[in-house]
Structure 1
């Protein structure tokens, strides 16, 4: 299973929002945001929804799921 994301891209288009600003806005640490962006950590559904909402996008626009077949 692979989950990818466009969090870094969303931050860039949001006036180059910092990882720290995003982390504070969604209630996680900057290290968590770093891990999410590097696809080393999958956020909880709650965090994924908060991130998407912050950027006025759907969860599917920010995160993509590719199941192993």
Structure 2
């Protein structure tokens, strides 16, 4: 499997497990949501500095983003569709 696909798959898996949107992850990692989405799809190369920021936000080691998935393992499903307020919005803070 292509290393970009491995990193993207792991990034998405970890993000979804934590209930984060792409906007949440990108904002906390000082990245653009569209760039983060392209990384998750394995379309672009990403620098180690940016990977370190994603890992810090996700509270994992950078090496965890490079773990090859087991053969036949399911591709991480996206979060349920629909807009959710940003974690910094007044609605989100009142939860």
- Cα RMSD of the aligned pairs, angstroms, is 1.8
Distance 1:32 1:64 in 2: 21
Does the alignment pair 1:10 with 2:8? no
Larger Rg: 2
State TM-score, norm by structure 1: 0.80
- The structure whose residues are more often strand, as a share, is 1
Higher relative CO (Cα under 8 Å, sequence separation at least 6) belongs to 1
Matches within 5 A, 1:1-69: 2-3=2-3, 4-5=6-7, 6-14=10-18, 16-64=19-67
**Unaligned segments of structure 2, at least 5 residues:** 69-95
TM superposition score normalised by structure 2: 0.60
How many residues are matched? 64
